[in-house]
Chains A and B, each alone.
Chain A
């Protein structure tokens, strides 16, 4: 079983800080062979297009490194603002809180493992 990385963003980010996060995170995924990344943004009150792009980049890069990314804890006002801004978050999975995010990551990992073994197909055919 792979390890999960948990990142909690506690401050409103400026651009350089977000870029550093992106770099550090991708480096860490490789280093600890993480299978999942959980980013908690519950303390973040602003997600603008730059910050959104960074989240998207992290998801894409971790996917290439064979890890899933889940963003959790987005404040409702931030979600509404993102939609009006017109920012899509492609490839970014979201969950309501850390607990649900962890469950989602575990479910995704199990799914892929079963899928590789062909277990899922067998389940389908026997039912």
Chain B
């Protein structure tokens, strides 16, 4: 996968989320992503950025336009230095939440994107990477 263009946004407070979503939308629009795929991407990103703020105490997001095998898409990487997730398979279950949310954030976000990767080390932090292809299903 080749990253064509890269932007880093640091997330410290809730208002940063609004700016991040706008920037993400601009990247998606620029490569001609359909409204439906844009909506799915931004909704997934919205779930993940909330997790990052709530559980990870904020962090840094990288937005990239990526290219692979004639496909173009947007990759978003969420990296925090929070407490980490002890049991990822549990966190990926629908309805599981350590907070008071619905527990849809991680599994829901995964359903809305084409590629989803999560790595977490307790005491070090969590990194989630998602890709939505412009014409992917």
Contact = CB atoms under 8 A, between A and B. Distances in A.
Contacts of B38: 77
A81 B40 contact: yes
Contacts of B94: 86
A9 to B, nearest CB: 14
Contacts of A46: 21, 39, 42-43, 46
B101 interface: yes
Interface residues of B, number: 25
A1 interface: no
Interface stretch (A23-31, A48-56, A94-102, A110-118): A48-56
Interface in A16-42: 16
A47 interface: yes
A77 B35 contact: yes
B105 A49 contact: yes
Contacts of B46: 46, 48, 50
Interface in B31-81: 35-36, 38-40, 42-43, 46-47, 50
A50 B42 contact: no
Interface in B96-119: 101-102, 104-105, 107-108, 111-112
Interface of A: 12, 14-16, 45-50, 53, 75-78, 80-81, 84-87
A86 B107 contact: yes
B91 interface: no
Interface of A is mostly: helix
B112 A14 contact: no
Given A15-B50, A86-B94, 8 more contacts: A14-B17, A49-B105, A49-B108, A50-B46, A81-B40, A85-B43, A86-B111, A87-B108
Contacts of B107: 86
14 contacts: A15-B14, A15-B50, A16-B14, A46-B21, A48-B43, A48-B47, A49-B104, A49-B105, A53-B101, A77-B35, A80-B36, A81-B39, A86-B111, A87-B104
A49 B25 CA distance: 19
Interface of B is mostly: helix
Q: Which 3 A-B residue pairings sit nearest by Cβ, starting from the closest?
A: A77-B39, A85-B108, A48-B46
Interface string B5-25: 000000000110110010001
B101 A49 contact: yes
